[in-house]
Structure 1
Amino acid sequence: MQDRFTNKVALVTGAGSQRGIGRATALALAKEGASVVITDVVPESVQKVTEELQKIGPAMGEVADVRDKEAMRRVVRSLTDRFGGLDILVNVAGLTRPTTFLDISEDEYDLVLDVNLKGTFLTTQVAVPAMLQRGGGAIVSLSSVSGQRGGGVFGSSHYSAAKAGIMGFTKAIARELTPRGIRVNCVAPSMVDTDIAGDLLTEQRKAELGQGTLMGRIANVDDVVKCILFLASDESSYLTGVTLDINGGMHMH
C-alpha cells in the first residue's frame, strides 16, 4: 500500500452512497494516511461511511448540502478546528436525471445545475481559504464525458451543461489559484458502475455500453478513484487545469 497522504487532511463531498465514487475515494485516501472528512445529505449514510473511515484512521462526517454555502462553510470550520486545516478537496456530489430537453422543467434544471455545478463552485469557494492557510493543496472535481460529447447515455442536456461547466470552472480557477499553491484538476469518466442511474443501469445495458468502449466494459469505481488520487497527490505535481479522461477509449478528442 502506498502512503501518499500522511499528514494530509481531505474533504470529500457526496460520499454517502455505498457504491459511489465519493465513498470509495474517501476510503482510499484514509488507507493512504489522510485524515478524511465526508459530507452527504443522508444522515444514515454519513454515519455509516464515517464509521468505516474511523476504523482506518482519523475521520469525521457532516450532514450538509453542497448547495448551501453556509452549511459547507460550517463543514470547513469544523474540520479546521478538528484537524488544523485542509489540503485536499474532492468535489464528487452530483446527480443526474434522464429527461429529454423539451421535458426538463425549470425546477429539475435548477436541481441538476445547482447540485453539480453550483455545489462544486460554493464548496470550492469556502474551502480555498483553509487550503491557502496551509500553503496550498489540490482540488479534484468530478466532471463527465457527458460534458464533452453532449450526453448520450443517461445524463441529459442539463447534466451535460453542468459537467461541461465544471471543466471550464476547473481551468478558470486553476489560472487563479495555481500561482498561490493550489493545483486544480478534474476527471471526466464515462459510465461508471454506480447507483447514480438507478434502475436504468441493468446488466444488459452495462454490456451494451461496454461494447462502445475499446476496453469492452464500462468503468468501475476503482478506475476513477485511482485517477482522483493521482491528481490529489504529489505524483501529479506539474498538472493543473487538466481534465483527465476515464472512458476506456469511448471518446477521444
Structure 2
Amino acid sequence: MKNKTVIITGASTGIGKAIATYFIERDSNVVMNSSNEENLKNTYLELGSPSNAVYLAGDISSQNTGKELVRLALETFNSVDVLINNAGVFAPKPFLDVEEEDLELYWNVNLKGTYFTTQAAIPEMIQQQKGSIINIGTVLVDHAIGGFPATAPITSKGAIHSLTRQLAAEFGKSNIKVNTIAPGIIRSPLQEKIGIEDADSLAGLHLLNRIGEANEIAEAAYYLAASDFITGETINVAGGHTVGHAI
C-alpha cells in the first residue's frame, strides 16, 4: 500500500482516526475527511502534519463532498486507489419512539454518505482498472440484541451490507473490490456518546470475552485494501460476536 492513495471518511476520531494513522504510518497517501473541521485539523496536527496526508472537512451526505474528496486526492496524489467509508452515526432508540427525522439522519449520513462518496470514487477506479472500497457496517445487522433497540441506524447499515454485494457484482470486471467490515463492540468515543459508561462491561457479547480496539479494525481495513482476490464479503471483526454465546 506504499504510495497508494486512500480516502477515509470520518477520520478525526475513533475507528476512522485509527485507520488513518495505520495507513499514514505505512506510507500510504491519505485524504482525511470529517464533518467536524476542528476535530479533523486537531487530528492532523496530532499525527504530526504528515506530508503524505491532507484533510477536507465536509458532510458526506452531500454529493459535493465526495466529489471534492476525489478532486483533492487526484490533485495532491494523482490517484484514488482505496475508499474507506467509515463516517457514520449510531445511537439506540426504541422502535416505537423512532420518528421520521431519526430515519432521515441515519439514511442520509450512513447510507447516502456511503453511496454518494462511492459514486464519486468509482469512475476514477474504472479508469485505473483497479480499486478497493471498504464500507463499515455492524455485526448487529446479522446478530440483533433485544436489549439494544436500534432499528433506525441498523436498517441503514443493513442497506450498506447489501450495497457492498451489489457493487462487487457490478464492478468486478473493472477489478474493483468492494467489501464490508462489520465491527463488534469497539473501544471508541462512540460508546460514551450513546451512553455506555463502561464499554468493557460488554465484553461478554464476544467469545473472546473482551471488546475490540480501533487498531484491530484498521488492521482489517489494511488487509482488505491490499488484497486482490476478496470482494463482496462482509468481514466480522468481532471476537466471535456472531458465532455463538458463552454461558
TM-score norm. by structure 1 comes to 0.91
Q: Which residue of 2 aligns with 1:97?
A: 91
State the alpha-carbon separation in 2 of the partners of residues 192 and 62 from structure 1. 25
Question: 2:205 is paired with a residue of what secondary structure?
Answer: coil
Structure 1 residue 201, shift from structure 2 partner: 2.0
Asked if the contact 1:10/1:35 (under 8 Å) is kept, the reply is yes
Q: Give yes or no for the alignment of 1:11 onto 2:2.
A: no
C-alpha distance 245-70 of structure 1, shift in aligned 2 (>3 A): same
- Structure 2: tracts of 5 or more residues without a match: none
SS of equivalent to 1:200: coil
Residue 246 of structure 1 pairs with residue 240 of structure 2: no
CA distance in structure 2 between the aligned counterparts of 1:184 and 1:213, rounded to whole angstroms: 26
Cα distance, 1:52 vs structure 2: 3.9
Cα distance, 1:57 vs structure 2: 3.7
Amino acid at match of 1:252: V
State the alpha-carbon separation in 2 of the partners of residues 61 and 55 from structure 1. 10
Structure 1 position 202 matched with structure 2 position 197: yes
> SS at 1:187's partner residue?
strand
Give the secondary-structure state (helix, strand or coil) at the position aligned to 1:96.
coil
2:224 maps to which residue?
231
Cα displacement string for residues 78-136 of structure 1 (whole angstroms, at most 9, x for unaligned residues): 22111112101000001112111110110111101211111101110001112223331
SS at match of 1:196: helix
Deviation string for 1:152-194 (max 9, x for gaps)?
5656001111111111100000001121011000111111111
Cα distance in 2 for partners of 1:6, 1:81 equals 18
Tell me the CA shift for residue 151 of structure 1: 4.9
How many positions carry a matched residue from both structures?
A: 243
* Counterpart for residue 157 of structure 2: 163
The alpha-carbon distance between structure 1 residues 130 and 54, as it changes in their structure 2 partners (threshold 3 A), is farther
- In the alignment, which of 12, 25, 34 is matched to residue 31 of structure 1? 25
Percent identity over paired residues: 29
Partner secondary structure for residue 14 of structure 1: coil
Report if the CA contact (8 A) 1:85-1:133 is conserved: no
Letter in 1 for 2:229: Y
Shift of 1:66: 0.7
Q: Which moved more, 1:101-110 or 1:143-152?
A: 143-152
Q: What is the identity, as a one-letter code, of the residue corresponding to 2:5?
A: V
- Three-state SS of the structure 2 residue aligned to 1:120 is helix
User: Looking at both structures, which has the greater relative contact order when contacts are Cα pairs under 8 Å and sequence separation is at least 6?
Assistant: 2
